Amino acid sequence: MHGSLLSEIREMSQDLYENFNYTEEPSRGERVEVVVDIYESADTVRNHNANTERDDGSTKRKQQTHHTGDTAGSRRYRLTAVCLGLLCVLLLTAIIVLWIKFNNLTIQRDQLQTSNTNLTKASEHFQKERDKLQERLCELRKNTEQAQGCFRGSVYYISTEKKSWNESRKDCNSKGADLVIINSREEQEFISSVLGNTEAWIGLTDIDTEGVWKWVDSSLLTTKFWFEGEPNDFNKNEDCAVTGYRDAGSERVSTWADFPCSHIIVGLCEKSLI
C-alpha cells in the first residue's frame, strides 16, 4: 500500500513538473498552491504510515495481550484439571481403604459371631453335664444323709423334731445347712411336693424391721408366695415365715404365712452342693 501511494505522489509531481516546464509560467499564487498540495500529499502519506504503524502496533499488542490471556487461562484450566484429578485419586483411594476395612470388620464380626455361637453351644453342653453330675451327687448325698429331696444342686432335709424358728435354724446349721431360701416358682413347687401338707419353717423373717422381710443370707425378699391375706402380723407378734400353710388347702404354690417365731413346727433345711 505504501508503494502505491508513493507512486501516485511521483506521478503527481511529474505532471506538475511537466506542466511547470511546458505550460505558461504560473503566477506566484498558483505556485504556492502547488507547493501546498505537494506538502499536504506528503503529510497524508506520513500520517497514513504513522496510522498504519500505530494500527499494526495496536493489533500486535492486542494479539499479544490476547495470546497472554489465553496462556494464563490455559494454565489455570490445566491446574484445575490436575487438582480435580488428584482429588478424584484421593477419594478413590479413601473409598478403597474404607471398603477393605469394612470387609475386614465384616469378616471379624462373622468370626466373632461364629465363636460366640460355638461358645454358647459349649456352655449349654457343659451346663447340662454339670446338672447331670449335680443330680448324681445329690442323689448320693440324699441316700447317705437321708435327705428328703434334691433340686438343682441342693439337698433338702426336714427336721425330725418340731422346734421354734431359731432352734430349727440351729438344727439345720448342725447339718452344714440352713433354713431354706426359695428363689423361684419351680423350687417352691418342688418343696410343696416334698412337704405335702406339712407346715415347716423357711429361712425368712422380718424380726429386725417390721414389714422388711429378709432371707437368712440377709438378701431382701423379691419372689413371694404368700397365701391370700398374708403376712398379717397377727397380734403384732408374727415375724417368721412358714411354707405349707394348712389353711391354703389344695394350693400348691402360694402357701406362705407369718407365724410367731416361738411357734413349734418342723424346719426345712437346704444344703447346697455347688
Alpha-carbon torsion angle 36, 37, 42, 46, nearest 10:
90
Q: Where are the domains of the chain?
A: 2-80, 147-272
Phi-psi region of 243 (alpha: psi -120 to 50; beta: other; left: phi over 0): beta
- At residue 12, the pLDDT reads 59
All three cell numbers of 174, joined, read 448342725
Whole-number Å distance between alpha carbons of 184 and 73? 85
The lowest-confidence range among 13-22, 149-158, 255-264 is 13-22
DSSP letters of 133-202?
Answer: HHHHHHHHHHHHHT-SEEETTEEEEE-SS-B-HHHHHHHHHHTT-EE----SHHHHHHHHHHHTT--EEE
Residue-wise pLDDT for 124-157, tens only, equals 888 888 777 777 777 776 666 667 888 888 889 9
Fold designation for 147-272:
Mannose-Binding Protein A; Chain A (3.10.100)
Backbone angles phi, psi at 198, to 5 degrees: -90, 130
CB atoms within 10 A of CB 264: 13
The lowest-confidence range among 28-32, 83-87, 245-249 is 28-32
Residue-wise pLDDT for 180-235, tens only, equals 999 999 999 999 998 888 999 999 999 999 999 999 999 999 999 999 999 999 99
- Is residue 1 pLDDT above 90, yes or no? no
Residue-wise pLDDT for 77-93, tens only, equals 888 888 988 889 999 99
pTM: 0.56
Backbone angles phi, psi at 65, to 5 degrees: -65, -45
